[in-house]
Structure formats: structure tokens, C-alpha cells
């Protein structure tokens, strides 16, 4: 990996006696795609929440572009160029697909007065249309997002995370509940966005084929700890990783 | 026939006043999860505020603007900071109890400090009537309809056609996602409280010439606004409009064709029917919640 850009240093999160995240450290460089795998309950989402300020880590530090951002709110992190998607859908069901994309980026535009009197599309209409085209959502662009299929809403959810052109995106199970025919499309989209926007991604995913083909670097977490890290093939063939997934 | 049209127009005018207060209910619920049972008193207090300003020699329009500014500060920002923010994390019930307490405190304070009498309040519209296509209409009804309708249209345009309005909708639909997308949720929620305060002042301006300024004038308006919001759908702003107008029109028709004594029961009967047969409201949508 190149010079680090996100640095997660010995992050721990405990709930009473349960150590959900137990001393995790890793670094992500500009343009990197890092995969995080691990069985259910291994602390992956808690790690994401700790990085993004949605929960405060018990100890440890998170730095982004050299700045200590430990415990910083999602709002502040978002304004520094860090985005995320959730395991569950987080689209705004009553807004149209196009408005969902616009609302995802509009708060980055201008002052209060400018926002109150700005054009209805906040000058983001063209960018939203490009994203709609990239995600092949033209035929549903004007429909309320809540009326679309789960897979389509998942695509909107991911497209929204990229609308503000973030420097780092944390994707939490982007393939969960997505039709297998959309999984390849999703992988291609992420590769395109990585190439075109130059952003870095950290991806939690249970779909091993997806992770192995998308991420040049993979971390495997078990019981809150990093069990293995390295190239996808190395992690996949690691005996401890296999034991964690399949049992002894 | 002309009588019927006159009743409908007058009913829509009265209903649009209920709708303004009901809009406040739905906006606060959607954006902040707050049910404000002091909403009626939020109308009563500005009525007295405007009376005080007028007693200092201010014209009504200036009294209205000054009261708007004070209401935004006290009923908007102050209400949010002093009551909602400390209690919201404990759930809906403590807030319901607090707003009921606020309602009693506001009424008692005004009765003790001002008197229990009803005070006349100047109408912002000229007195008298005019005929249009054989139908006699009052300037007050038409003026109320135009002002309330204009505010509702402007509010809808603000919510749907501006960047800030869309962000407020996003916060109402999913505050967690909005926060991650960089929307300042606290600021958007504050805007809703400020808008609610202004809606309360406009409602006071329109309703007080009829109800007169009295410490308990908020009881009826608050109750009807609450029913209107439930009837139309608590989670839809246009539901509040429909509920308000429906109550206003039916009250007028029942009062004229059946008996004025039944007029006050219309909102309650309509409310009971909706709760029994369409609890999400006429335009509301069912909500799923994780348990």
C-alpha cells in the first residue's frame, strides 16, 4: 500500500466484559481498496462505527490525512471527505432517486444564504444525472426511492455515498441482499469509481468472490481482533482463517 | 346553492387556519419526534404578544413582525433548547407530559398576569362582504383563505424546491443517514421549530379576531389542529392540510344544516372514524418500526 491516509491505531471498543473490537490497527493509502472479512459478530461493523464517530472507541486513535479524528462526529468526518454506507438501506424513501443523489451532496455547497436561495438542484443536477447513468438507473430516476426493489435501493445507497466525491468511503456489506446478477455490476462500478474519483474504499463483505476480485488487500477479523492480513489469496488460504469460518 | 358555496368557502377559510396549526404538529413530529400538546398555547401567546405590541401604539403589521421575531426566539429556539433537547432522549412520554405542563403553565400565567377576560383583536382584513357570481363572501374569509393558502403553498415550495427544504425532508425521513451525508441535523431540526413558531403567530393573527384573545383560546384550536393532523395523516404535511380543511368545511355544513350544537363534535367524530378504520390517516402511510 502507498503512504497512509487513514490510520487506525490500536482501536478498542468494549461493552462491559465483551471486547467487540480488540486492538485493531491498519492503514489505508490514497486510492487503496481494503477488504474486511470475518464471521458474523467479529466486530467489523463496530470497527466502522468507531472509525466514523458513530460510537466512541474505548481506546485507540483514528487519523485521517494526518489529523486525529478519533470520536469526531459523522457530520464533521463527512465534511472532511469520509462517507459510508450501512448494512441496511438508508435511502430517503419519499424523495425521488435523483433527489436522493442531490441531497447526498448538497450540504457541501455554499453558505446558509446560498443554500436557502440556491437553484432547486443546488447545481448538482448534472452530477446526479451522471451518477444515475453510471448506475444504470435512468428508467427509475424520477420515482420515489422507496418504491424500488431492494437491489435498486442498494445501488442508490451506494451512489449516494459517492455523490459528494468523498476521499474515503466505508462500504458495509454492499452485496447484502443484492441479486447475484447485480453483484458483478456493483464490483465494476466500484472499480470505475475508484479509478475515476481516485477515492479509497474499505469494504466489509461476506461475499468472498466479490472481495477477492475487488480488493488487493484483505483483513480478516475474528472476535474483535485482526487474525490475518495480506493479499486475498494468502488470507483465503490461511489455516486460522479457514478454522474461524469453518470451525475446528 | 349560493348559501352552500358560501358555507364551503367560509369552511375552507376556517379549515386553513386549523391546517396551519396542524402543519406545526406534523412538522415537529416528522423532524424531531415531538408531539407538542402546548400547540394551542403557542397560538394563544402570540395573540397576547400582538395585543401588547398594539397597546404600545404599533400598527398590526408591525406587531405581527415583532411577535414573529419574539416567537421564533421563545417558542422556537427557547422551546427546543429548554424543553425538547433535555427530554427527547428519554422518549416521547416525558415530552408529552412536559408539553401538557407547559400548556397549563402558559394558560395560568396569562390568566394571572393579564386577566381571564376575552379581549377583542383587530382583523387584518377589511370588514364587510362582496358578491361574486351571485355568492356573498366576506373579505375576512377570502383574506384568510389567501393568506393561509399562500403560506401553505410557500411552505410546500420551500420544502420541495429548495436545498434546505430537501435537507429537512431528508432529516425527517432518516436522521442517521442524513448525518452521515453531512447534513447538519441539529440545524435542520431548529429550522422546523422556528417555522412552527411563525405558523403559530400567523394562526393567531387569523384566528383571534373570531375567537378573541383569551387565556384558554388555545384549547379549541390546539385540539382541532391535533385532530386535523391525525385525520390527514401525522406523517404527511399535506395530510394536515386535508384534515384541517375537512374539519372546517364539515363544521360549517353540520352547524348550518343540522344544528350549531353539533358543530363542535364534528372533529371528534371524524377523528374516531379515522382512528378506527384508517389509523394512519387519510393521506398518511403506515410505518414499520424495528422492535
Nearest CA in chain B to A99: B166
> What pLDDT was estimated at residue A12?
92
Q: If contacts are CB pairs under 8 Å, which of residues 149-188 in chain A contact chain B?
A: 160, 164
Domain assignment present for A214: yes
Same domain, A176 and A72: yes
Partner-chain contact B182 A108, CB within 8 Å: yes
- With a CB cutoff of 8 Å and minimum separation 6, the contacts of B61 are B124
Same domain, A139 and A180: no
Domain assignment present for A133: yes
Same domain, A58 and A127: no
Same domain, A160 and A99: yes
Partner-chain contact B180 A164, CB within 8 Å: no
> Best of B161, B180, B289 to disrupt the A interface by mutation (most A CBs within 10 Å)?
B180
Q: Is A52's Cβ below 8 Å from some Cβ in B?
A: yes
Domain assignment present for A135: yes
Last residue of a domain, one of A138, A164, A190: A164
User: Residue A166 corresponds to which cell in the numbers above?
Assistant: 468523498
Cα Rg, chain B, nearest whole Å: 19
Alpha carbon of B195: minimum distance to chain A alpha carbons (Å): 14
Nearest CA in chain A to B173: A92
Domain assignment present for A86: no
Over pLDDT 70: what percentage of chain B? 98
Torsions phi, psi for B31 (to 5 deg): -85, -35
Same domain, A170 and A157: no
Closest to B282 (Cα-Cα) out of B83, B22, B108? B22
Report the distance separating Cα B44 and Cα B118, nearest Å. Answer: 12
Q: Which residues of B touch A116 (CB under 8 A)?
A: 162-164
Same domain, A106 and A58: no
Last residue of a domain, one of A164, A180, A209: A164
Same domain, A114 and A69: no
Partner-chain contact B162 A116, CB within 8 Å: yes
Q: Which residues of B touch A108 (CB under 8 A)?
A: 182
Report the distance separating Cα A156 and Cα A212, nearest Å. Answer: 24
Nearest CA in chain B to A84: B180
Please give the angle made by the CA atoms of B241, B243 and B248, to the nearest 5 degrees.
95
DSSP string, A129-187: HHHHHHTT-GGGTTSBGGGS-HHHHHHHHHHHHHTT--SEEEEE-TTTT--HHHHHHHH
Given a cut of 90, is residue B198 above it in pLDDT? yes
Partner-chain contact B181 A118, CB within 8 Å: no
Alpha carbon of B175: minimum distance to chain A alpha carbons (Å): 10
Task: For helices A97-106 and B163-173, give the axis angle rounded to 10 degrees.
Answer: 100
Report the distance separating Cα A200 and Cα A26, nearest Å. Answer: 14
* A11 membership: H or E segment, kind and range: strand A6-15
Last residue of a domain, one of A164, A194, A219: A164
Closest to A87 (Cα-Cα) out of A188, A171, A166, A191? A171
Same domain, A200 and A223: yes
> Best of B161, B169, B177 to disrupt the A interface by mutation (most A CBs within 10 Å)?
B177
Same domain, A174 and A77: yes
Q: Tell me how many domains chain A contains.
A: 2
CB-CB contact of B3 with B13 (8 Å):
no
> What pLDDT was estimated at residue B157?
87
* Helices and strands in chain A, H and E counts: 10, 10
User: Residue B112 corresponds to which cell in the numbers above?
Assistant: 394571572
Residue where the block lists cell 478498542: A12
Confidence of residue B272 (pLDDT cuts 50, 70, 90): very high
Strands A200-204 and A217-222: unpaired
CATH number at residue A170: 3.40.50.300
Task: For helices A150-162 and A97-106, give the axis angle rounded to 10 degrees.
Answer: 30
Confidence of residue B134 (pLDDT cuts 50, 70, 90): confident
Mean pLDDT computed over every residue of chain B: 89
> What pLDDT was estimated at residue B41?
95
Same domain, A65 and A170: yes
Beta strands in chain B (DSSP E): 129-132, 135-138
Higher pLDDT, A118 or B283: B283
Given a cut of 50, is residue B176 above it in pLDDT? yes
Please give the angle made by the CA atoms of B279, B281 and B286, to the nearest 5 degrees.
70
> What pLDDT was estimated at residue A134?
87
Partner-chain contact A99 B166, CB within 8 Å: yes
Alpha carbon of B229: minimum distance to chain A alpha carbons (Å): 19
Closest to A33 (Cα-Cα) out of A61, A6, A11? A6
> What pLDDT was estimated at residue B229?
92
Same domain, A114 and A1: no
Alpha carbon of A214: minimum distance to chain B alpha carbons (Å): 24
pLDDT in tens, chain A (248 residues): 445 689 999 999 998 888 899 889 999 988 899 999 988 888 999 999 999 888 889 999 999 988 999 988 888 888 888 888 888 888 898 889 999 999 888 776 666 677 677 777 777 888 899 989 988 889 999 999 988 988 889 889 989 988 888 889 999 888 887 878 788 888 888 888 888 878 889 999 888 888 988 999 999 998 889 888 989 888 888 888 888 776 65
Partner-chain contact A74 B174, CB within 8 Å: no
Report the distance separating Cα B240 and Cα B251, nearest Å. Answer: 16
Report the distance separating Cα B148 and Cα B155, nearest Å. Answer: 10
Domain assignment present for A239: yes
For B74-117, what is each residue's pLDDT tens digit?
A: 999 999 999 998 988 888 889 899 999 999 999 999 999 888 88
> Best of A79, A91, A120 to disrupt the B interface by mutation (most B CBs within 10 Å)?
A120
Please give the angle made by the CA atoms of A91, A97 and A101, to the nearest 5 degrees.
75
Q: If contacts are CB pairs under 8 Å, which of residues 126-145 in chain A contact chain B?
A: none
Torsions phi, psi for B132 (to 5 deg): -135, 115
Q: Which residues of B touch A (CB under 8 A)?
A: 161-164, 166-167, 169-170, 173-174, 176-185
Count CA atoms closer than 13 A to A111's CA, side-chain side: 1
**Would you give the end-to-end CA distance of chain B in angstroms?**
54
> What pLDDT was estimated at residue A108?
63
Alpha carbon of B177: minimum distance to chain A alpha carbons (Å): 6
User: Residue A118 corresponds to which cell in the numbers above?
Assistant: 440556491
Q: Which of B169, B176, B182 lies closest to A164 in CB terms?
A: B182
Please write down the long-range contacts of A43-47, taking CB distance under 8 Å and 24 or more positions apart: A43/A13, A43/A221, A43/A223, A43/A224, A44/A172, A44/A204, A44/A221, A45/A87, A45/A172, A45/A204, A46/A13, A46/A20, A46/A21, A46/A224, A47/A8, A47/A11, A47/A13, A47/A21, A47/A221
Q: Is 0.90 surpassed by the pTM of this model?
A: no
Domain assignment present for A87: no
Q: How far is CA B174 from CA A48, B90, B169, in A?
A: 19, 19, 9
Nearest CA in chain A to B174: A92
Given a cut of 70, is residue B135 above it in pLDDT? yes
Domains of chain B (ranges, CATH numbers): 2-277 (1.10.3470)
Q: How far is CA B184 from CA A132, A186, B189, B235, B290, in A?
A: 25, 30, 9, 21, 25
Report the distance separating Cα B109 and Cα B129, nearest Å. Answer: 38
Partner-chain contact B179 A118, CB within 8 Å: no
Q: Which of B170, B179, B184 lies closest to A103 in CB terms?
A: B170
Q: Which domain holds residue A115?
A: 92-164
Same domain, A121 and A132: yes
For B216-254, what is each residue's pLDDT tens digit?
A: 999 989 999 999 999 998 877 888 889 999 999 999 999
Domain assignment present for A15: yes
Amino acid at each position: 500500500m502507498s503512504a497512509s491516509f487513514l490510520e487506525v491505531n490500536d482501536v478498542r471498543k468494549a461493552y462491559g466484559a465483551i471486547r467487540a473490537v480488540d486492538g485493531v490497527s491498519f492503514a489505508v493509502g490514497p486510492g487503496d481498496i481494503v477488504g474486511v472479512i470475518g464471521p458474523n459478530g467479529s466486530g467489523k461493523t463496530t470497527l466502522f462505527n468507531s472509525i466514523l464517530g458513530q460510537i466512541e472507541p474505548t481506546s485507540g486513535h483514528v487519523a485521517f490525512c494526518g489529523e486525529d479524528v478519533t470520536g469526531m462526529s459523522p457530520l464533521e468526518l463527512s465534511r472532511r471527505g469520509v462517507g459510508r454506507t450501512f448494512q441496511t438501506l438508508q435511502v430517503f424513501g419519499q424523495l425521488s432517486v435523483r433527489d436522493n443523489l442531490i441531497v447526498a451532496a448538497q450540504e457541501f455547497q455554499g453558505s446558509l444564504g446560498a443554500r436557502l436561495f440556491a437553484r432547486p438542484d443546488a447545481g448538482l443536477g448534472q452530477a446526479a444525472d451522471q451518477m444515475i447513468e453510471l448506475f444504470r438507473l435512468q428508467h427509475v430516476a424520477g420515482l420515489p426511492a422507496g418504491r424500488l426493489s431492494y437491489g435498486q435501493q442498494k445501488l442508490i445507497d451506494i451512489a449516494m455515498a459517492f455523490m459528494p466525491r468523498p476521499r474515503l468511503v466505508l462500504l458495509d456489506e454492499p452485496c447484502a441482499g443484492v441479486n447475484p446478477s447485480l453483484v458483478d455490476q456493483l464490483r465494476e462500478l466500484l472499480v470505475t469509481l475508484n479509478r475515476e474519483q481516485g477515492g479509497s474504499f474499505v469494504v466489509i463483505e461476506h461475499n468472498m468472490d466479490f472481495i477477492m476480485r475487488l480488493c488487493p488487500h484483505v483483513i480478516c477479523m475474528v472476535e474483535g481482533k485482526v487474525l490475518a492480513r495480506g493479499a486475498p489469496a494468502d488470507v483465503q488460504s490461511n489455516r486460522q482463517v479457514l478454522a474461524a469460518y469453518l470451525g475446528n | 346553492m349560493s348559501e352552500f358555496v358560501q358555507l364551503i368557502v367560509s369552511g375552507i377559510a376556517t379549515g386553513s387556519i386549523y391546517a396551519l396549526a396542524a402543519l406545526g404538529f406534523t412538522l415537529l413530529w416528522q423532524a424531531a419526534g415531538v408531539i407538542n400538546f402546548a400547540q394551542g398555547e403557542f397560538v394563544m401567546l402570540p395573540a397576547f404578544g400582538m395585543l401588547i405590541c398594539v397597546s404600545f401604539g404599533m400598527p398590526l403589521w408591525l406587531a405581527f413582525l415583532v411577535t414573529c421575531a419574539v416567537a421564533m426566539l421563545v417558542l422556537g429556539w427557547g422551546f427546543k433548547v429548554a424543553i425538547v433537547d433535555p427530554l427527547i432522549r428519554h422518549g416521547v412520554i416525558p415530552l408529552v407530559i412536559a408539553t401538557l405542563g407547559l400548556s397549563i403553565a402558559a394558560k395560568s400565567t396569562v390568566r394571572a398576569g393579564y386577566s381571564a377576560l376575552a379581549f377583542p383583536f383587530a382583523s387584518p382584513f377589511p370588514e364587510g362582504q362582496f358578491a361574486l357570481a351571485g355568492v356573498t363572501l366576506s373579505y375576512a374569509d377570502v383574506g384568510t383563505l389567501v393568506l393561509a393558502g399562500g403560506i401553505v403553498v410557500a411552505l410546500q415550495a420551500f420544502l420541495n424546491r429548495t436545498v434546505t427544504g430537501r435537507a429537512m425532508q431528508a432529516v425527517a425521513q432518516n436522521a442517521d443517514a442524513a448525518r452521515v451525508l453531512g447534513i447538519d441535523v441539529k440545524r435542520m431540526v431548529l429550522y422546523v421549530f422556528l417555522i412552527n413558531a411563525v405558523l403559530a403567530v400567523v394562526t393567531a393573527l387569523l384566528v383571534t379576531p373570531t375567537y378573541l384573545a383569551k387565556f384558554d383560546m388555545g384549547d379549541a384550536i390546539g385540539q382541532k389542529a391535533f385532530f386535523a393532523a391525525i385525520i390527514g395523516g401525522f406523517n404527511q404535511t399535506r395530510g394536515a392540510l386535508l384534515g384541517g380543511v375537512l374539519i372546517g368545511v364539515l363544521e360549517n355544513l353540520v352547524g348550518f344544516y343540522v344544528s350549531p350544537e353539533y358543530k363542535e363534535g364534528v372533529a371528534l367524530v371524524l377523528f374516531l372514524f379515522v382512528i378506527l378504520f384508517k389509523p394512519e390517516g387519510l393521506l398518511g402511510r403506515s410505518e414499520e418500526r424495528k422492535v
